């Protein structure tokens, strides 16, 4: 996608064959799930779907991008809850850059490994836990319940989001696919032939809605510098004070203290002289 707009869309024609795919833990429907994420992030299959497209559908997906930068702890009186991935070392073992999904994925994979004694084929390497063989994959991993997932999610908390992250949103326009009248008039295809040939087909046109993106930055609106500046402005209005008069006040006070100390010292060093007259 070299530019924004439908004319520069990424065009996909997908054949949804459910029997050909690994279904996973929680899949209960047929279709295509689209997940958009930044290059440093990771995606959790089955849980992070941003847009779902059912078979025999053609959809135009317009993507909007936004970047967010929040204040790192201990900002906001210690209430800031994001992870400062730009300045702190990455705590994850199997991902080069910290992300919320990567943190959750490592924790859940480790928890699943403990429950089954092996790791899923889609999970990152885990120290001391081997890869599941076919029997373990079918009998344990595929039989894990939703309660097991929630248990593992609770074990991984907390996994804060990074303070700097990129988010995507989509707007979809959906159409029926295929167009029977179009195929019949253009190619002479009958409806039965079209159904047999185009069954479970899905079309997608993915494009950026705009060449620009939103940038949202969180900042502290009132700092100690602002306090000092406002205090100085208030004193200037009410007392006519300024930096120069403050220096003069200090100089005047210092001079008064020096003069008082000098006068006191002179009084202590004065001696009384008694004049003695000779006898006549």
Segment 22-37 mean pLDDT: 69
C-alpha closest to that of 105 among 92, 87, 117, 115: 92
171 vs 208: CA distance, rounded Å: 10
9 vs 29, residue with greater confidence: 9
Pairing assessment for the beta strands 201-208 and 57-69 based on DSSP bridges: parallel
d(CA 248, CA 172): 69
**Cα distances (angstroms) measured from residue 40 to each of 2, 69, 104, 214, 272:** 21, 16, 15, 19, 91
Distance in angstroms (rounded) separating the CA atoms of residues 15 and 26 = 21
Task: From 19, 28, 54, select the one nearest 177 (Cα to Cα).
Answer: 54
- Cα gap 155→147, rounded to integer Å: 12
Whether the CB-CB separation of 170 and 62 falls below 8 Å is answered with: yes
Q: Give the pTM.
A: 0.61
Checking if the pLDDT of 207 tops 60, the result is yes
Q: Mean pLDDT across the stretch 197-210?
A: 83
Exposure class string for 66-77: b at 16+ Cβ within 10 A, else e: eebbbbbbebee
Q: How many CA atoms lie within 13 A of 220 on its CB side?
A: 16
What pLDDT, on a 0 to 100 scale, did the predictor assign at position 277? 57
pLDDT over threshold 60, residue 23: no
Residues pairing with 129 in the sheet: 126
pLDDT of residue 15: 81
Mean pLDDT of 248-257: 81
**Per-residue pLDDT averaged across 155-174, rounded?**
83
- Which pLDDT does position 22 carry in this prediction? 59
Instruction: Read off the pLDDT band of 196 (50, 70, 90).
Output: low
Looking at residue 237, what is its pLDDT?
Answer: 62
Mean of the pLDDT values across residues 263-272? 59
Contact 172, 36 (CB under 8 A): no
Average pLDDT of span 141-145: 78
Does residue 48 surpass a pLDDT of 70?
Answer: no
């Amino acid at each position: 996608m070299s530019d924004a707009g439908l004319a520069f869309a990424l065009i996909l024609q997908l054949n949804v064959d459910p029997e050909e795919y690994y279904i996973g833990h929680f899949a209960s429907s047929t279709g295509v799930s689209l997940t958009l994420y930044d290059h440093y992030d990771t995606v959790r299959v089955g849980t992070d779907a941003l847009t779902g497209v059912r078979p025999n559908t053609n959809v135009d997906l317009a993507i909007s991008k936004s970047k967010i930068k929040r204040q790192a702890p201990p900002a906001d009186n210690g209430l800031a809850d994001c992870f400062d991935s730009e300045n702190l070392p990455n705590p994850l073992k199997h991902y080069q850059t910290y992300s919320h999904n990567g943190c959750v994925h490592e924790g859940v994979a480790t928890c699943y490994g403990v429950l089954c004694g092996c790791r899923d084929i889609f999970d990152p390497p885990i120290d001391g836990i081997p890869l599941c063989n076919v029997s373990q994959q079918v009998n344990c991993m595929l039989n894990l319940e939703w309660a097991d997932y929630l248990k593992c999610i609770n074990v991984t908390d907390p996994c804060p989001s990074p303070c700097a992250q990129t988010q995507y949103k989509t707007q979809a326009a959906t159409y029926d696919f295929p167009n029977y009248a179009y195929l019949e008039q253009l190619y002479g295809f009958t409806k039965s032939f079209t159904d047999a040939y185009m069954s479970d087909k899905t079309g997608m046109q993915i494009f950026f809605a705009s060449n620009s993106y939103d940038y949202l930055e969180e900042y502290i609106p009132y700092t100690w510098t602002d306090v000092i500046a406002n205090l100085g402005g208030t004193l200037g209005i009410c007392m006519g004070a300024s930096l120069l008069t403050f220096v003069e006040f200090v100089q005047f006070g210092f001079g008064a203290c020096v003069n008082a100390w000098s006068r006191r010292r002179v009084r202590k060093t004065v001696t009384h002289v008694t004049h003695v007259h000779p006898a006549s």
